[in-house]
Structure 1
Amino acid sequence: MGRFSRRAAAALLCGGLLLAGCSAGPKDVDNATEPAPAAEAAADGCAYTDAPLLTLPPRGPGEPTLELPQPRGWERNTTMDSETVRGVIVNTGMRADDFTPNAVVTLVDMTAKSPTPQQVIDIELAELSSNGVAVETADTMLVCGHPAMTVGYTLESRPVNAVIVGVAHEGKTFSAVVTMQTADPTNADYVADMDTILSGFRVSY
């Protein structure tokens, strides 16, 4: 896998909204973990998706389970996995302009900063603004019953689309975010897959 831009590496903030993604093709694609069939991973109150779901289990007390639709052609990549980055999928077949389309899932404990899910979302938006990034589109939604917002913005001349989920559970709050980028937003297959991935993202207990 290629490197992040220096700006993006420095800007890995609370929920990863400024993560610039993969600037070159992956070198460490891990296909050992197969996504579970969508029907088996269904959760009450979550949006239906007919794509297989990649399950990213909790790592610490009180954390939610994160599930990401994985359409055909999107492969699990473990190069970036960390305490914040919980999972990445990439599509090398859609690579354009030396950039591999990717979806990055992040999770951060926000308990000390924000007691409510809406404040989690507000903090994420404020982080973008403080780094000079203008939110171009924003729509409220629910993800598995949790308050959420879809946002669109531009980072390093590439369009970015993300879903921010504010999670509150048993006295803890989390920011769960899935962020997608491409260098070719006119690719109809990418647009369709992006809709599947973002609309089917799941955050549940």
Structure 2
Amino acid sequence: MIIRLIAIGVAAVGAMLVTGCNGADGTAVRASGGNSTAATTATATTASDPGECATTTDAYLTATQKDGEPAFSVPVVDGWNRISRFEDQLTRLAVADKSLTVDNFAPNYVVTVEKAPAVGRAEFDRQLQALSRVAVGGSVHQHAESTTCGFPSLIVDYRLQVKPGIGTHATVLIVSIPEEPSPTTATLTIQTADPDNAEYSAAKKSIIDGFRVEK
């Protein structure tokens, strides 16, 4: 598990990475063709098999991808802009909405990808153990296990103390990809200092529900 704090402009943006490369600039992203850092249109045909997602015509922002890895993508949401300077070998996509800044903290999400020593429930437990060491005591709440594009997944809510006087509410989607020869874990972590904001809540639902993992 990787813990990282990033700052976007004047707004401190705490990015809690539960697992985790490169990107574009900080301008608004719109649908376009092109490489793995651009917004694209998802075209998978079914959600029944691992690596195959439901058909959609929505615009997606694709995370940086290494050879042999699945493609990871997130729906484009108005106001949420890619911030490439916070991306690296682990963090494949970093996005924030500065217009929703509260307490000098801009809501943000990150997609991370890493090789994993376990799969499924064992990998979720590994992630939860690491998360419990950094989350505010008693704040970790896991939802029922599910699937994302046919792969085992788990959603976890928790709270963080980013800095004195600033706490955030975070949600992480953990996806376990049991591919040979080496399993992979991808996470999508989104957080805010203002969890009751209706605009944030709507964006969060779209981002988490629309996360795609495609072979």
Q: Normalising by structure 1, what TM-score?
A: 0.79
Structure 1 segments (4+ residues) deviating >3 Å: 2-5, 30-34, 40-43, 47-51, 130-134
Distance 2:11 2:88 in 1: 14
Corresponding residue of 2:127: 124
Task: Identify the match of residue 146 of structure 1 among 144, 151, 164.
Answer: 151
Question: What is the count of residue pairs matched by the alignment?
Answer: 184
SS in 2 for 1:139: coil
8 Å Cα contact 2:94/2:110 also seen in 1: yes
Trace 1:6-45 onto structure 2 (pairs within 5 A).
Answer: 15=19, 29-30=26-27, 33-37=37-41, 40-42=42-44, 44-45=46-47
- TM-score, scaled to structure 2: 0.75
Task: Using the TM superposition, give the Cα deviation of residue 2 of structure 1 relative to its aligned residue in structure 2, in angstroms.
Answer: 4.5
Consecutive unaligned residues of structure 1, counting only runs of 5 or more, are 17-27
State yes or no: 1:94 paired with 2:96: no
Tell me the secondary structure at the aligned position of residue 39 of structure 2: coil
Amino acid at match of 1:69: P
Deviation of 1:42 after TM superposition, in Å, equals 3.4
Distance 1:4 1:63, change over 3 A: farther
**Contact residue 47 and residue 199 of structure 1 kept, 8 A:** no
Distance in 1 (CA, whole Å) between partners of 2:83 and 2:134 is 27
Q: CA 1:175/1:137 → structure 2, altered by over 3 Å: closer, same or farther?
A: same
CA distance 1:132–1:180, change in 2 (3 Å) = closer
Aligned to 1:53: 60
In structure 2, the gaps of 5 or more residues are 1-7, 30-36, 48-52, 162-166
Which SS does the other structure have where 1:190 is aligned? Answer: helix
Identity of aligned residues (%): 32
Q: Which amino acid aligns with 1:44?
A: T
Report the equivalent of 2:80. Answer: 74
In the alignment, which residue of structure 2 is the partner of 1:23? Answer: none
**Residues 10 and 104 in structure 2, CA contact (< 8 A), matched pair in contact too:** no
Q: Which residue of 2 aligns with 1:24?
A: none
**RMSD of aligned C-alpha atoms?**
2.5
Whole-Å Cα distance in 1 between the matches of residues 144 and 55 of structure 2? 19
In structure 1, the partner of 2:184 is: 174
Question: Which of 168, 175, 195 is equivalent to 1:165?
Answer: 175
Helix, strand or coil at the partner of 1:87: strand
Deviation string for 1:62-102 (max 9, x for gaps)?
32110111211111110111111000111111111101111
Higher helix proportion: 1
